[in-house]
């Protein structure tokens, strides 16, 4: 889990896990948890003396939420505003190519396969040549592309959640070790 150093208005320095933000505004001082919704853990003091206790409470709640909620997905759910086709996010085409040494053009769909912790891959789903292309073949290829993208998104989200939970267990073990 990523941490960052936060210096609050009183000059105290804290190591804060991601998903927790510091709020210092007029009469509001505390740590805001941003994971599966938001929740403010107040310092209950105006001088910042309760910041350590409220950060501890926010971190405990963060660990609970990570254990039971799926990790937030960073994948794009809908098509970009500038996309000119009606195809879902991650699918583009039909792409028409004239391959080297051939005299007949062929069509395919391109599918972006997200992979957690690695670069995404592109997969091509063949539709047909200019002689064999039909609407039925396009629709069948589109169904395969949507299924392929959906399976990749599910695998990505599972891997994200698995990694997030492993990081939370690691943090929990470190905190238990430090409290001994």
Tens digits of per-residue pLDDT, 78-103? 777 777 778 888 888 888 888 888 88
pLDDT bucket at 139, cuts 50 / 70 / 90: very high
Average pLDDT over residues 27-40: 89
Domain map (residue ranges) of the chain: 3-69, 76-180
**Taking residues 32-50, what's their average pLDDT?**
87
User: What confidence category does residue 57 fall into, taking pLDDT thresholds of 50, 70 and 90?
Assistant: very high
Question: Would the CA dihedral through 24, 26, 32, 38 be positive or negative?
Answer: negative
Q: Where are the alpha helices (DSSP H) in 32-134?
A: 51-68
User: Mean of the per-residue pLDDT values for the chain?
Assistant: 87
Predicted pLDDT of residue 72 = 79
Choose among 35, 42, 43, 39: nearest CA to 18.
Answer: 35
Rounded mean pLDDT of 147-169? 90
Beta carbons within 8 Å of 122's beta carbon, 6+ residues apart: 110, 111, 112, 113
pLDDT, position 32:
93
Higher-pLDDT residue of 10, 80: 10
In the chain, % of residues over pLDDT 70: 98
Q: What is the pLDDT of residue 2?
A: 83
Q: What are the structure tokens assigned to 111, written together? A: 């599918």
Confidence of residue 22 (pLDDT cuts 50, 70, 90): very high
pLDDT at residue number 140? 93
pLDDT for the residue 85 = 77
């Amino acid at each position: 889990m990523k941490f960052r150093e936060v210096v609050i208005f009183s000059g105290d320095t804290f190591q804060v896990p991601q998903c927790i933000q510091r709020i210092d505004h007029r009469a509001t001082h505390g740590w805001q948890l941003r994971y599966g919704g938001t929740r403010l853990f107040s310092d209950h003091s105006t001088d910042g003396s309760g910041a350590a206790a409220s950060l501890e409470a926010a971190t405990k709640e963060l660990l609970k939420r990570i254990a039971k909620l799926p990790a937030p997905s960073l994948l794009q759910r809908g098509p970009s505003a500038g996309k000119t086709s009606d195809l879902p996010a991650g699918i583009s085409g039909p792409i028409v190519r004239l391959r080297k040494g051939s005299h007949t053009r062929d069509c395919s769909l391109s599918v972006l396969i997200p992979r957690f912790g690695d670069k995404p891959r592109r997969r091509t789903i063949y539709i047909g040549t200019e002689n064999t292309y039909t609407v039925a073949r396009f629709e069948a290829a589109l169904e395969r592309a949507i299924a392929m993208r959906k399976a990749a998104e599910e695998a990505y989200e599972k891997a994200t959640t698995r990694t997030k939970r492993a990081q939370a267990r690691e943090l929990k073990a470190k905190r238990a070790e430090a409290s001994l």
